[in-house]
Structure 1
Amino acid sequence: MDWEEHAARLADEVTDRVSRWREPVAAVPRHELVPRWWQQVAGEWVLRDGPCDLEAWLAAAYCDTSLVTSIGALHADHALGDEKPTGLPTSSATLPSLVVRFLRHARLTQGLDLLDLGTGAGGLAAYAAQRLGSRHVTSVDVDPYLTDAAAGRLARMGLYPQFFAMDATRAIPGTYDRIIATVALEPGRGLVPVLRALRPGGRLVTTLANTSLILTAWKAENGGAVGQVERDWAGFMKTRHSTDYTPGPDALLAHARQAEGDEVTAGRYPVLDVSAAWELRSMLEVTTPGVELHYEENGRRRTACLVHTDGSWARATAEWLAPPEVHQGGPRRLWNELERIRNRLNAEGQLPLYGSRLEITPDGVCHLSRGKWTASLGV
C-alpha cells in the first residue's frame, strides 16, 4: 500500500516547514493504528473496516480528524459489522494537528523521558518515539487492549516504547521529565499521581475534565506545579477507571426532561448546546463543578438540560432563537448560573480563563488567577 505520499501530505497540513515534528508525522503509517473505526451516521455508530475499502481507509487515516475506535466497552476491532453500540466514545485516534500541538506545548528536547497518559490508538507515542527514541517514551492507558494493540502495531513500525495498562489516577510507574495527558484529568485527587510522577523541573501538559482548558505547568519545589492556561483549547474524553464510564445521572436527566420544577421563568438568552460552546462550558465547570449536559433539536425547537448529582436540574426550551421557557428544580438554579456567565461574556467581551495564571498545589487543587479574578478547582 502506497501510504507515504498520504502521510507526507498530512505532515504538510499539520506542521510548519521547519517543525521538528514534520518528519515523525510523515514517517508514521497512521492507517495501521486504525484498521477499524466508528463513524456516526444519522445518529448511529456505523463500523468502518479499512482493509475492505482501501481508498476510504487512506482518506480517513490521513485526514486531520479524530477517529473514534471504542464506544462504551466495544472496540471497533472486536465488533461485528451490523452492531450498533450505544454509550459514550471511550477511545479514539486523536486528530494529528492536536497531537502535534500538545507535543509542542511539552517543550520536548532530546534525552528527555516522556509519559504519554492515554494511549488511545498510539499516535502520540508513535510520533514521540520517532523523534525522541523508543526508550524515552512510556505510554499508559486504563484499557489493556489499547496498550496491547498499540504496542503490537508500533513494533511492526520498528518502534518499541514501554506500554502499561493501569488506572493512572491511582498510581503511575516511574518518573518523567514530561507528562502529556490526552485524557482530561480531574482536578484534585486525579492530579496527585501525575504530580508525583513528574520529576523536579518537569513539565505537565493536560486538559481538565469538563473543560477545554489546556494547562501547562512546570514542577515546583513544593511538589506542586506553576504555569498557565494556554490561549489554546482542546476537548478530550475524561479519565475513567475501567474500559467504560460509570453510568451517568440518567434518572435525574429523565426527570429534567419532563418535570414542571420548583420555578418556571423566561430565560434571557437563546438555548444553545453548552457542550459545544467550549469557553462557556469551561467557565460553568469552574463556577459549578460537576454539571452534566444534554441538548437536542427537533426541527426548530431547541432543548437544553443541565443536571447535577446534588439533585439540581434545569430545562430550557425555545423555538430557535426565541427567549426560552426555563424550568428548574433542586437546591441550585443551574440555568441562572449559566446566564450569569453569559452576562459577563456579553459585558466584557471575554471570560478570564484563557491566559490565566495557574498554580497547582501538591494535593492537585488548581488555582487560577487573572487580574482581580480568581478561581479554584478540585477543592
Structure 2
Amino acid sequence: MTLPTDLDNDADALRAAMVKGLAGADPSAGAGVPMHPAWLAAAGKVPRHAFVPGFYLPADAPGAQGLTVWEPVTSELDYGRWLAAAYSDATLITQFDGEETDWERPAVRHGGAPTSSSTLPSLVLRMWSDADVSEGHTVLEIGTGAGYSTALACERLGSSHVTSVEVDPVRLRTAADALYGCGYTPTLARADGLYGYWPEAWFDRIVAACSFRSVPPALLRQTRPGGKVLLPLSGWLYGNARVLLTVAGDGTAEGPLLPGSISFMPARTHAAPAYGNPADWAAGLHEVRSRSVRHAPERITVATEEAFHLRFLAQSAVPDAQMVTVGGVLHLIDVVSGAVATLAPEGGAWEVREGGPLKLWSLIEQVIDAFDAAGRPGPETYTLRVDGKGQRLLPAHGLRLQLPRGY
C-alpha cells in the first residue's frame, strides 16, 4: 500500500489528541486503578496505525437477515477514515472466523465471529495499569494480536523485558513485522497461552489479552513468588470478570475480582463447543411439566453491569451450560451433562421446563437468590482463591461457586 507523505504529521496530531482524551477520561467510568502516567506516555509514542494497516468497521445499518455489515478500511480505500479510526478509542476487528483477509483486495463481510482485533487503547492501558507493572519487571503477554499492546510494554519496559505469545501463526507474523518495523524486539513465540511460555519463565507479571474459563495452572507456576497474574475470565454463558491474582511461594494464588464489565475474546482452546440444533434439545421437554420462574431471564440477559456480573456468578454454578434464544424462547444447553432447560413467556410471565441430570435454571435461581439476599454485592467484593481444593469464589454467600478445573 502507498501511504501519504504527510502520514507522520497527521498521525502525530491524532495520537496526541487520543492520549489527551484518555488522560482526561473520568476514572469512575473505567475499572481498577487510575491509568498510570507512564502508560499514557508510552501511548503517546507508539504509532498505532502501524499495527492496523487494515481492519473492519460496522456499517451504519444491518444487512440481510439482520447480520452486521462489516466494511473494510485501509489507507488506500479511505485514508481519513483509516487514520481517524486508528487513533480512536475503539476496538478494530482484524480477523473473522480465523480467516485472513487479503488487504490488497478486501471485501465487505456479512456477519461472522471476530477472532482477532486491536483492542481499544483505553482498555489496553487499563489492563497494563491494573497489572501493577513497574520498571524492571519481566512480563508475559498472552495474545499478541495486532501487536499494539506489546509495543506499549516494550516502550515502557524495554523489549528485553517483554515476552508475547500468540496461537495464530499469521497474526504473529504480521505483528512481528509491525513491531520490528517500529524498532521493538520483544521475545515472540507461537504458543498456546494456556501453557504460558516456559523458556522465558519466571515472570514478574503475566497479563492476558484473551479470556479463560479458569486460571491455567501453568501460568501460576511460571510466576515468581509475589508476582501477579491479570486474567480476564469468561465462560460458555459469556459471563465475564477480571481477576488480579498474587502468587504465593507454595503455588497457591489469591486475588480480587476487579470492578467493571470488560470482556475479551475467549482463548481458542476455551471457546464454547457447538451444541447443534436447539429444537432437538427442546424436543424431549414437551412432556415435562412447566413451572413459573422465580426470576425472569432478564436478570442475567439485560445490558447492565449488574446483569453481566450476575451472569458470571450464575455461570460458575452451571459452567458447561450455553444460552441461546430462538423465537422468543430461551434455551439453556449443557453439552457435557446432557441437561437442558427452556424458558418461554406465558401470559406476561415466564415458564420453565427442565430436563436431564441438572436443573439448570433452578441452579441459576439459587445464585440469584443468594445474590439478592447478600445485598447485590459488586465484583470487587469477591476473591478468587486457587489452591489444591480448586478455584473458588469467596464469599459465595452460602453457595459453593467454583470455576472449572484448570486445564
Q: Distance in 2 between matches of 1:67 and 1:336?
A: 39
CA contact (8 A) 1:293 1:306 kept: yes
Q: Distance in 2 between matches of 1:350 and 1:229?
A: 15
Q: Distance in 2 between matches of 1:240 and 1:288?
A: 20
Q: Which moves more between the two structures, 219-228 or 174-183? A: 219-228
Q: Distance in 1 between matches of 2:19 and 2:107?
A: 34
Q: Distance in 1 between matches of 2:102 and 2:353?
A: 43
Q: Deviations over 1:146-187 (max 9, x none)?
A: 111111112222222121111122352321111001111232
1:139 Cα deviation from its structure 2 partner = 0.7
Q: Distance in 2 between matches of 1:148 and 1:177?
A: 26
Aligned residue for 1:376, secondary structure, equals: coil
Aligned residue for 1:183, secondary structure, equals: coil
Alignment partner of 1:325 is 2:351 = yes
Structure 1 residue corresponding to 2:141, chosen from 104, 116, 128: 116
Q: Distance in 2 between matches of 1:325 and 1:378?
A: 29
When residues 371 and 345 of structure 1 are mapped into structure 2, their CA distance, relative to the original with a 3 A threshold, is closer
Alignment of 1:143-292 (within 5 A): 143-170=168-195, 172-173=197-198, 174-175=200-201, 176-187=203-214, 191-210=216-235, 211-241=239-269, 247-251=273-277, 253-256=278-281, 260-261=285-286, 262-272=288-298, 274=301, 276=303, 277-292=307-322
CA contact (8 A) 2:382 2:395 kept: yes
Q: How many residues align?
A: 368
State the match for 1:48 in structure 2: 72
Structure 2 residue corresponding to 1:35, chosen from 38, 53, 60: 53
State the match for 2:117 in structure 1: 92
CA RMSD of aligned residues (A): 2.9
**What amino acid is aligned across from residue 167 of structure 2 in structure 1?**
V
Aligned residue for 2:210, secondary structure, equals: strand
Q: Distance in 2 between matches of 1:349 and 1:149?
A: 48
CA contact (8 A) 2:166 2:189 kept: yes
**What amino acid is aligned across from residue 189 of structure 2 in structure 1?**
F
Q: Deviations over 1:101-153 (max 9, x none)?
A: 11111111111111111111222111111111111111111111111111111
Say which structure is richer in strand.
Answer: 1
Unaligned runs of 5+ in 1: none
Q: Distance in 1 between matches of 2:143 and 2:297?
A: 34
Q: Distance in 1 between matches of 2:13 and 2:230?
A: 31
Q: Distance in 1 between matches of 2:362 and 2:119?
A: 35
**What amino acid is aligned across from residue 13 of structure 1 in structure 2?**
G
CA contact (8 A) 2:98 2:115 kept: yes
Q: Which moves more between the two structures, 17-26 or 121-130? A: 17-26
State the match for 1:11 in structure 2: 19
Q: Deviations over 1:242-297 (max 9, x none)?
A: 9xx5742124x34246664434233344443638531122011211112212246x
Q: Distance in 2 between matches of 1:318 and 1:293?
A: 16
Q: Deviations over 1:45-78 (max 9, x none)?
A: 5241221112221232222222222221213456
1:221 Cα deviation from its structure 2 partner = 1.0
State the match for 1:57 in structure 2: 82
Q: Distance in 1 between matches of 2:302 and 2:404?
A: 20
1:83 Cα deviation from its structure 2 partner = 5.9
When residues 359 and 62 of structure 1 are mapped into structure 2, their CA distance, relative to the original with a 3 A threshold, is same
CA contact (8 A) 2:72 2:107 kept: no
Q: Could you tell me the TM-score, scaled by structure 2's length? A: 0.81
**What amino acid is aligned across from residue 68 of structure 2 in structure 1?**
E
CA contact (8 A) 1:72 1:86 kept: no
State the match for 1:314 in structure 2: 341
Aligned residue for 1:222, secondary structure, equals: coil
State the match for 2:32 in structure 1: none
CA contact (8 A) 1:114 1:180 kept: yes
Q: Which moves more between the two structures, 227-236 or 349-358? A: 349-358
Aligned residue for 2:258, secondary structure, equals: strand
Q: Distance in 1 between matches of 2:354 and 2:396?
A: 33
Unaligned runs of 5+ in 2: 1-6, 25-34
